[in-house]
Amino acid sequence: MTTDLPADLPAGLTARPLTTADLDAAFAVYSAAELEDSGHLALEPEDIAGDWARPSFDLAADSIGVLDGERLVGAAEVTRGGTRAEGAVLPGERGRGIGSWLAAWSERRARSIGSHRVGQMAPEGSLPQRLLRGRGYTVGHTSWVLELPEGREVPPRPLPPGYSIGTAGTTDLERAAYDVLQDAFDEWEGRVRTPFQDWAATSVRRPGFQPWQLRVVDHDGVVVAASFTILDSQGVGFVDQLAVERGHRGKGLAQALLADAFGHARERGGQRSELSTDSRTGALDLYLKVGMEVTQTWTQLGKDL
């Protein structure tokens, strides 16, 4: 149970940790805020369910909800050993000091876990970005959401001899895909590696997962590249993760996986194709060259505790 709460909760409001029974209410808060701040909605209830199912996440200690009576009007979570926070306030409830209180709670919770720095993502130019900058957060990396315009396809890229794409249909292949993805992401400075069970909760154990969503590139019996795609309720095929092992880059594997992932989503009813990348990966030019267009810009903001 969360007991270390900031003292200045706005008048008329109460706060308590979230519970699994709050999932729909939390989705209403987070989704309304995302739509207000970015102009787009990508979040689904399954995303929250997967996040809350991570073994490293203690919902009773790592989350907080702000209520006006029985109605949830704001929420926040601290994850990844206190290095990452997320928070949101219903657009109609802004201006009451809820966002500042949630940010203060997130910083306090991150510090209590032992983290020396906490970060959050916010859409460029949004109210949350301005709030965090006002609290002393500084800009780190930039993230972009890109869309493949309707009617356009990623040009297919033939694989070099000795390479093949397939579905990661066994637990061994799931683990191999995880290793490739995490090893590539670990090249980013300051990143904390995601434990396998946490990764699985948000991918292959995510509610509604189907085997086609996790695809791998094999070379001589070894997985050297992988992608994970989500087909959401709005008909968007979103490539959530894609990586190529360092020694196999420059061979067209990323483009081949991208075309493969979008193609599988279209076969299952996907109407649009999207992904996100950030300034740490150096992959933006690849996605622009295959015809994708930037639709959103987000910034990572961090604060030393």
CATH of the domain at 61: 3.40.630.30
Burial of 6 (0-12, 13-18, 19+ CB in 10 A): middle
pLDDT of residue 154: 87
Same domain, 177 and 204: yes
Q: Kindly tell me the sign of the dihedral angle through the C-alpha atoms of 53, 297, 85, 60.
A: negative
Residues 204 and 226: their CA atoms lie apart, in Å, by 13
pLDDT of residue 192: 82
Residue after which a domain boundary falls, among 136, 164, 181: 136
Same domain, 107 and 158: no
Residues 181 and 67: their CA atoms lie apart, in Å, by 38
Q: Which of 187, 85, 203 is nearest to 195 (CA)?
A: 203
Contacts of 41 (CB under 8 A, 6+ apart): 31, 34, 35, 234
Taking every pair of Cα atoms in the chain, the longest distance, rounded to a whole number of angstroms, is 67
pLDDT of residue 294: 97
Domain count, the chain: 2
Same domain, 129 and 150: no
Q: Does residue 5 form part of some domain? A: no
Same domain, 218 and 269: yes
Same domain, 275 and 156: yes
Token look-up 């085997």 returns 211
Same domain, 46 and 108: yes
- List the beta strands (DSSP E) in the chain: 14-16, 63-68, 71-79, 84-89, 117-123, 138-148, 163-167, 214-219, 222-231, 236-244, 272-278, 293-304
**Domain boundaries, position 189:** 146-297
Same domain, 150 and 277: yes
pLDDT of residue 224: 98
Residue type at position 1: M
Same domain, 124 and 160: no
pLDDT of residue 1: 45
**Across-strand partners of 277?**
144
Q: Does residue 7 form part of some domain? A: no
Residue after which a domain boundary falls, among 79, 101, 136: 136
Phi, psi of 196 (to 5 degrees): -55, -45
Q: Does residue 303 form part of some domain? A: no
**Across-strand partners of 244?**
225
Residue after which a domain boundary falls, among 89, 107, 136: 136
Residuewise pLDDT in 10s, the chain (305 residues): 445 688 789 999 999 999 999 999 999 999 999 999 999 999 999 999 999 999 999 999 999 999 999 999 999 999 999 999 999 999 999 999 999 999 999 999 999 999 999 999 999 999 999 999 999 999 999 999 999 988 888 888 899 999 999 999 999 999 999 999 999 999 988 788 999 999 999 999 999 999 999 999 999 999 999 999 999 999 999 999 999 999 999 999 999 999 999 999 999 999 899 999 999 988 999 899 999 999 999 999 999 99
Contact 299, 38 (CB under 8 A): no
Q: Which of 280, 258, 278, 184 is nearest to 223 (CA)?
A: 184
Could you tell me whether strands 63-68 and 71-79 are parallel, antiparallel, or unpaired per DSSP bridges? antiparallel
Phi, psi of 234 (to 5 degrees): -95, 5
Residues 247 and 273: their CA atoms lie apart, in Å, by 28
Same domain, 175 and 127: no
Same domain, 118 and 241: no
Residues 120 and 126: their CA atoms lie apart, in Å, by 13
Same domain, 123 and 155: no
Q: Does residue 141 form part of some domain? A: no
Q: Does residue 42 form part of some domain? A: yes
Task: For the full predicted model, state whether its pTM sits above 0.85.
Answer: yes
Same domain, 275 and 257: yes
